[in-house]
Amino acid sequence: MNSRDSMAKTTHIAVVSIPAFSHQASIVEFCKRLVHVHHHFQVTCIFPTIDAPLPATLTLLKSLPSNINYSFLPPINKRDLPQDALSAVQIQLAVSQSMPSIQHVLRSLLSTTPLVALIADLFANEALEIAKEFKLLSYVYFPHSAMAVSVLLHLPSLHQQVSCEYRDHKEAINIPGCVPIQGRDLPSHFQDRSSLAYKLILDRCKRLSHAHGFIVNSFSKIEESSERALQEHNRVSSSNSSGVYLIGPNVQTGSSNDPKGSECLKWLENQEAKSVLYVSFGSGGTLSQQQMNELGFGLELSGEKFLWVVRAPSDSADGAYVGASNDDPLQFLPNGFLERTKGRGFVVGSWAPQTEILGHVSTGGFLTHCGWNSALESIVQGVPMVAWPLFAEQRTNAVLLTEGVKVALRPKFNDSGIAEREEIAEVIKGLMVGEQGRLIRGRIEKLRDAAAEALKEHGSSTRALYQFGTQIERLEGQS
């Protein structure tokens, strides 16, 4: 399904991400699929940076097709950002400080290129103002679930309707097209209404109505009701909206040449089919030392096989996003843990080839922080999940995965916010060998097939990509 042949007029668009690898990876995969469907599109990716470009992103950019270019902006010095702020706040402030550089890059592009549209990450949507100044069409890219997008769209009205802290709100919150959600499961940026994090996210959510449309990394079959509600919301509330496009799942593919990765895969080769629980908290997630101990003992107590990506503990749940610890993470494991679980568990420090692990025949479950990239990767491979959200919109994703599509189990946390070892062991066994786990496996295998179908030539997500591109051309023709 290609919009035109190679003789067509080139359509140039710019894409702005944020300095967080999960967001950059998602938007790059979107751009690759966009130019595959629309051969005559030319894309320039603009990356704000903190201190320096992310090494993982540099690796990702080596595989770009010739019609995608990129530009790293002059780095923002991390020491110039508030050191006690959450990583998400530091990232948004760095993007705000990068707006003059974004403006400069766009002006330079426009001097040589008939640029027609700007796509900005939700957390870079200040760039919508620049798009308006340069008379460009503007879109927001969400590396999130459609349910999370609905929650973000409704924050300005929730802010008016709910006077207390959301976590203290007694009744479930009903957002159109979404599973009812408790206030405590709204995104972490919402949870302190006097904080800078809340002010920043509220400002960004209010700005969403300025966009011509939304691009969402999800697919129709998993979120039909949320998709319908988003379309209706845009039809009613946005005068210039051209639609909502569910174009996912955009996930990373391909193999890694990292030696640590081959060790993981070699160990998996010697395990039985669907017998291993993969444990990872994404590119930014960290546990406290106490929680790390409980997880270790819980894995041990479960008796199940596991492959655990361990990161040094931190009091901040997103402690690895802007500055990861250089300490050897294995030194923080419970005493004697490695010896006691030898043969049954495999522990690797900081990083593992997640795509290949989830796709391996020996992997039977995934204990995940519910970052949307990771959740989609698990769905694409048909791997059941234990939902262990840490920050951002991950608790909202956990509600979708456990109560919406019912492909995950979620451990209970005590009053101190700790999941205890007995609870962890019980949930792991329930997923890997219990009846609940068997039912979940059946449901996620159906979703896996639906995800594959969405990405086929005439699938729902490929059609959405085609419609997005042709809509840009139609609106460009009207301007």
Where in the sequence numbering do the catalytic residues fall?
Answer: 23, 121
Neighbour count for residue 314 (Cβ, 10 Å): 18
DSSP assignment of 271-340 equals: S-TT-EEEEE-TTT----HHHHHHHHHHHHHH--EEEEEE----SSTTTTTT----S-GGGGSPTTHHHH
Inter-CA distances, 248 with 29, 35, 204, Å: 10, 15, 23
User: In terms of DSSP bridges, do strands 408-409 and 385-387 run parallel, antiparallel, or are they unpaired?
Assistant: parallel
The residues, any chain, with a CB within 8 Å of residue 148's CB and separated by 6 or more, are: 142, 187, 372, 393, 396, 397
Which of 90, 51, 93 is CA-nearest to residue 316? 90
66-69 contacts: CB < 8 A, separation 24 or more? 67/35, 67/39, 67/41, 67/42, 67/43, 68/28, 68/31, 68/32, 68/35, 68/42, 68/43, 68/44, 69/42, 69/43, 69/44, 69/45
Residue given tokens 């030392």 in the structure block: 289
